[in-house]
Structure 1
Amino acid sequence: MKEWRFFAAEQRATLLALVLFLVMFIIYVSNHPAGFTPNVVQTASNKGVILAFVAMAQTLVVLTAGIDLSVGMIFILCNCVGSYVLGGTMASALGGAGLVLLTGLGCGMVNGLIVIFGRLQPIVTTIATGAIFFGLALWLRPFPGTVPDFNGDLADLFTGKLFGVVPASLVFLLAVVLVVWVPLSRSVIGRAIYAVGSSDMAAYMSGMPVKLARFTAFAVGGLLAGFGGLFLTFFTYSGEASLANGDNYTLFSIAAVVLGGVSLYGGRGSAIGAIFGALAFRTIGDLLFVFDFDPLWQPLFQGLVLALAVTFGAARLFRIRNRLEMFS
């Protein structure tokens, strides 16, 4: 019994994000004209999974007590790259998907190297690199478009339904969590990422690989943002260097991270919580659509949710008398 109480206390923020998402999703499908159907769930999951990947990318950097303001631009750059390389046969399209992921990984590695060896703050570094990544995306796609022989079969494979019911995008998201997040979080590097976020100096004095932990957080974060850009290409069949989308996904990823219970001060939270936070935040937009809110008012409500999420995440700090209590 004590083990369950300990687990519930440790995962309280993640469980709250899950409950919040389920409640809002039930309200959404209950008021949707089509109701609870496989097509409605598929569309909602495809949109939610895209933000979930970007939120996971943001989570890794936030766990180190940093923040990545380039994550949305990596996402957009990978989308633009995907619109060029996801064509031809199934084999060539799969190779192109690998190239998209390598692009995201490379962008994350650049961020990590600059932060570590340039000794710059992550927020300053990623503002600069984000502008560079967007410039590259704009150079690739000055106008929205796609490759003439875009492989729609591959895109439909990842954004369609398995057995006509289960959204393939959710299954793939689960696979990424099991292959990437779970092993990383349980590894020495994963524990070092949490330790760096809790106390950089204490982690260093304990002999943990501080530099490698920071580098891994940025690199894997770039890879996860690449997954998001890849799925955006699968979903839209095209690429677009949209500054608005890049900025929005960066802000939405921060909101999802906070809603998912990840501390902006680092060292606390998980990518699982960020996923539920992303799904919950995406469902807010769907609810506004279902209840026929004026589109001009929707950014206002989303901004209010973002402000409330950040405020809720920081509310616990008012009860803290010293920094050690943050991790008790």
Structure 2
Amino acid sequence: MNDLAFRLRDARATLSAVAVFVALFALYTLNHPAGFSANVVQTAANKGVLLAFVAVGQTFVVLTAGIDLSVGAVFILANCLASVVVTGSPGAVALGVAAVLGTGLACGLANGALVVYGRLQPIVATIASGAIYFGLALALRPEPGGDVDSTLADAVTGQLAFGVPASAVVLLAVMLLVWVPFRRSLIGRAVYAVGSAEASAYLSGLPIRRARLLAYASAGLFSAMGGLMLAFFTYSGEASASNASTYTLDSIAAIVIGGVSLFGGAGSAVGAVFGALIFRTINDLLFVFDLDPLWQPLFLGLVLLGAVSLGSARLLRLKNRLELFGS
């Protein structure tokens, strides 16, 4: 198999997610009263970017065959913290942004330490830590409120030239600066190896512990980016338990739709981004077609079940998981 064919096969799930998103978004804009306008695109991008950041964070962990059920809580904690510290002079705002991202990174590292050194199951560890992170968010914001720097908020949530959503550009820049170097690095290959065949990765001398720590740290960092963006969109913070649970579950749905295997070792953060955009577009389509709100959770659940089933069926057809990565 030549290099191009291998790359196309490796990116098949991601390319499928891109194609599905384009088709669904075209259907959405064709049926939206305002049509394909800059405001419609901006609104869709702003909603999609929030879930995309959390989904990318979840992707790092799932690639190691783990799962992080605290991403929603970190998302909310970052939102509440941003509403307290991202205000004041330009220097104070910069320090506030750094504090929010640093907090997300610290939460992720704590999760990684529990899993790697504490040898706890990821589900148990992240459920427990998520409760702690949400408690901290509630302590910061017992009631919705706060403020963020309006200049910075407007800059990252508005429109650029030709109506391009600034939030989408921010997401693209982060992906280019973080995901692309990660995917090509030794530690990035180790993350994939841990998820596909941990024993073989260990025997090959790959840094398994560092790979897992980095995966959970990245999950916390990207979740904090999402919470920071939420603060920029709403100009406030809110310790909402329902939002924490929703973003956690939706992040799992997004990565599955985007072609990331829940069994680990296969998928891409790019696919997760488009999976998040697909999931948000499906929500928008249900609104445009005026589906009864009582039926929407059932429909979304069926979509998720179908995506999981398709991903599992592919693995069940394989005699050897290495066929996912070879010719």
TM-score under structure 1 length normalisation: 0.96
Structure 1 residues without counterparts, runs of 5 or longer: none
Matched-pair contact (CA < 8 Å) for 2:196–2:321: no
Match of 1:158 in 2: 156
Who is 1:230 aligned against?
228
Whether contact under 8 Å (1:198, 1:327) holds in the other structure is: no
Matched with 1:298 is 296
Does the 8 Å CA contact 1:90/1:154 hold for their aligned counterparts? Answer: no
Q: Which residue of 2 aligns with 1:89?
A: 89
Q: How many angstroms apart in 2 are the aligned matches of 1:302 and 1:197?
A: 28
What does 1:209-248 correspond to in 2, within 5 Å?
Answer: 209-248=207-246
Matched-pair contact (CA < 8 Å) for 1:64–1:194: yes
Partner of 2:111: 111
Aligned to 1:49: 49
- What residue is the counterpart of 1:18 in the other structure? 18
**Distance change in 2, residues 1:2/1:203 (3 Å):** closer
Describe how 1:51-66 pairs up with structure 2 within 5 A.
Answer: 51-66=51-66
Q: How much has 1:164 moved relative to structure 2?
A: 5.0
Identity over aligned pairs, percent: 62
1:121 aligns with 2:138: no
Q: Deviations over 1:254-308 (max 9, x none)?
A: 1111111111111111101111111111100011111112222222222221221
Aligned length: 326
Name the structure 2 match of 1:254: 252
Q: Which amino acid aligns with 1:167?
A: P
The reply on whether 1:203 has 2:201 as its aligned counterpart is yes
Aligned equivalents of 1:167, 1:269: Cα separation in 2: 26
Are 2:65 and 2:262, in contact at CA under 8 Å, matched by a contact in 1? Answer: yes
Letter of the 1:259 partner, please give it. Answer: I
1:309 aligned onto 2:318: no
- One-letter code aligned to 2:276: A
**Does the Cα contact within 8 Å between 2:10 and 2:325 map onto a contact in 1?**
no
| Change beyond 3 A, Cα 1:164–1:92 | farther
Residues in 1 aligned to 2:95 and 2:46: alpha-carbon distance in whole angstroms: 22
Kindly state the Cα deviation for residue 327 of structure 1 after the two structures are TM-superposed.
Answer: 4.0
Shift of 1:326: 4.5
- Find the aligned partners of 1:233 and 1:227 in 2 and give their Cα distance: 10
Contact conserved, 1:85 with 1:93, CA < 8 A, in 2? yes
Equivalence for 2:133: 133
User: 2:39 & 2:221 partners in 1: Cα distance?
Assistant: 29
Q: Secondary structure at the match of 2:101?
A: helix
Give me the whole-angstrom Cα distance separating, in 2, the residues matched to 1:128 and 1:118. 13
Q: Kindly provide the CA deviation profile for residues 77-111 of structure 1, in whole angstroms up to 9, marking residues without a partner as x.
A: 10110111121233322221111111110100000
Q: 1:272 aligns with which of 257, 270, 273?
A: 270
Q: CA RMSD in A?
A: 1.4
- For 1:152 and 1:46, the matched residues in 2 are separated by 16
Unaligned runs of 5+ in 2: none
Alpha-carbon offset, residue 2 of structure 1: 4.5
Q: Distance in 2 between matches of 1:216 and 1:251?
A: 22
The one-letter code sitting in structure 2 at the alignment partner of 1:283 is: T
Aligned amino acid, residue 153 of structure 1: T
- Could you say which residue in structure 2 is the equivalent of 1:181? 179
- Whole-angstrom distance in 1 between the partners of 2:160 and 2:280: 22
CA separation in 2, counterparts of 1:43 and 1:110?
34
